[in-house]
Structure 1
Amino acid sequence: MTGLPIGGTLLALAGLTLFGTLIGLAVATPVFLICSPVIVPASLAIAFAVTAFLSSGLVGLTGLTSLSWFARYLRMATEEVPGQLEEARKRVHDAAGYVGQKTKEVGQEIQRKAQETKP
């Protein structure tokens, strides 16, 4: 029930707007025809200026987004570095222990072979 008065009012406002637009177009058409050598280049210049302004804004927004992504990437990389350094330190320690053990085994093997070759 409440939709009918609201819808009717909006439909009436739409009709009045259409009627006003048609009257305005009928009044302005002769002015546009007389002034078209000025209006067309001016409207093109305004359109180009708006396009340039919007593209400039989009390029700036893209640049800021790229810098934000790069800063976040660097922040994540610096947060992961201590863990990676600790892991690398453990690997070096394990490798050094392995090399030491292998050196000891090779030395014992050389001593054993030297003992066997003595008459």
Structure 2
Amino acid sequence: MADQGRAAGYAASYGSPPTYGTSYESNTSSSSSRQTVKFLTAATIGISLLLLSGLTLTGTVIGLVIATPLLVIFSPILVPAAFVLFLVALGFLFSGGCGVAAIAALSWIYNYVSGSGNQHAGSDPLEYAKGYLADKARDVKERAKDYGNYAQGRIHEATQGAY
């Protein structure tokens, strides 16, 4: 009942009440046409790609048929040439890798000796341990000195009381 009062008040102020959503028939027709367009687009693209794939396969087979006799005729030259090129490329890659490793090692040694850049790996725990041991040694030395003074005072008291 309260909704009827609001709808009547809305209709009096603004005209007809608002409609939320659309009818079922208009939704199904737009949905059906949208699905048809999607299907036609996907089918067109799929058929085009399938045609291109077939043309590529045909071209590859024709090229292989033409090139096979040439490869057989020149194989006594091509196989050793390919092997030599492979070994040369492998040698260049290996020497380049060794050069990069040597430069990295020399850079690390330079930074380690000069102390520049970041601290070396593990130096922070070592510095902490060295400082900790130095503090403990200082504490032991102070306690030994205090105990020595205490013992000397007790000895002095004991000798004073004896006279």
Into which bin does the TM-score normalised by the smaller protein fall?
0.5 to 0.7
Residue of structure 1 aligned with 2:75, choices 16, 36, 60? 36
Aligned pair in 2 of structure 1 residues 112, 21: CA closer, same or farther (>3 Å)? Answer: same
Greater RCO (Cα-Cα under 8 Å, separation 6 or more): 1
Q: Alpha-carbon deviations, 1:68-107, whole Å to 9, x = none?
A: 88869x71349849x7476566445433322221221221
Q: Alpha-carbon deviations, 1:25-53, whole Å to 9, x = none?
A: 11111111111110000111122223333
Residue 11 of structure 1: aligned partner = 50
Aligned residue type for 1:23: I
TM-score when normalising by structure 1:
0.64
Is the partner of 2:118 in helix, strand or coil?
helix
* Bigger Cα displacement from structure 2, 35-44 vs 14-23: 14-23
Residue 95 of structure 1: aligned partner = 140
RMSD: 3.8
Q: Which has the higher helix share?
A: 1
1:75 and 2:118 matched: yes
Residue 23 of structure 2: aligned partner = none
What is the CA-CA distance between 1:63 and the residue it aligns to?
A: 5.5
In 2, the alpha carbon distance for the partners of 1:77 and 1:87 equals 20
In the alignment, structure 1 segments of 5+ residues that lack a partner are none
In 2, the alpha carbon distance for the partners of 1:102 and 1:5 equals 99
Aligned residue type for 2:143: Y
Q: Alpha-carbon deviations, 1:1-36, whole Å to 9, x = none?
A: 344333333332222222111111111111111111
TM-score when normalising by structure 2:
0.50
State the structure with more CA Rg.
Answer: 2
Matches within 5 A, 1:17-56: 17-56=56-95
Is the partner of 1:76 in helix, strand or coil?
coil
* Bigger Cα displacement from structure 2, 31-40 vs 14-23: 14-23
Is the partner of 1:75 in helix, strand or coil?
coil
* Bigger Cα displacement from structure 2, 59-68 vs 39-48: 59-68
